[in-house]
Amino acid sequence: MHIKHIIGILLLLPTTILLAQQEHIYTSLENIEQPDSVFILSLSKNRLDTFPTQILEFRNLRELDLSKNKLHNIPPQIGKLSNLEVLNLDRNKIDSLPQEIGQLHKLRYLKLSRNRLYYLPSSIANLYNLKELILWSNGIKYFPESFRKLNTTIKVIDLRDNPMMLYDDQQAIKEMLPTPTIKMDNVCNCQ
């Protein structure tokens, strides 16, 4: 085999591995024999009321979709999923997040819409790869001061349908994070 053929094969290898990872989306926790082979896990609409601890064994997990369930909390051990890039927890009953969520340094998309969150852990500011933080329809009233660190990395923050209805509250967030697109409800500054 010529050196050109070998180089060509080596150049295609990362693409082949990526395609193999994407082709295998697990939609159930049953019959998973090799936890390291789980890259994408979608357990949406499974009526889960507790976080399946088996997920914590999937060290190579890149995408986790637990949306449209009945989860009330997320365990602190979530921080062990160090390769996670997408975490979708939309439409659950989550009322708080553990500080350990800030250990997910590769996380790019965090979706938390339609939960019962009133505050966010300050450790989210440690998610330096975070591009989108989707929080619409929660009870969020303010951001921790530490979120200023996200200003240069995050692109979109969706805060629609949260109690941040006062003009002053919205202005404070826009001053804290002037760079990203921040989606908020339109408010009347009637005085």
Q: How high is the pLDDT of residue 21?
A: 47
Domain contains 18: no
- Retrieve residue 165's tokens: 């209805």
pLDDT tier at 9 (50, 70, 90 boundaries)? Answer: low
Total-model pTM = 0.83
pLDDT in tens, 73-101: 999 999 999 999 999 999 999 999 999 99
Domain contains 73: yes
Q: What's the rounded mean pLDDT across residues 3-10?
A: 57
CATH classification of the domain holding 150? 3.80.10.10
Domain contains 45: yes
Domain contains 20: no
Domain contains 125: yes
Q: What's the rounded mean pLDDT across residues 176-190?
A: 73
Domain contains 50: yes
pLDDT tier at 110 (50, 70, 90 boundaries)? Answer: very high
What domain count does the chain have? 1
Burial profile 80-112: b = 16 or more Cβ within 10 angstroms, e = fewer:
bbeebbbbbbbbbebeebbebbbbbeebbbbbb
Domain contains 44: yes
Residue matched to tokens 């996670």: 84
Q: How high is the pLDDT of residue 191?
A: 35
Question: Does the structure show a pLDDT above 70 at 12?
Answer: no
Residue 46 belongs to what domain range? 37-183
pLDDT in tens, 121-147: 999 999 999 999 999 999 998 888 899
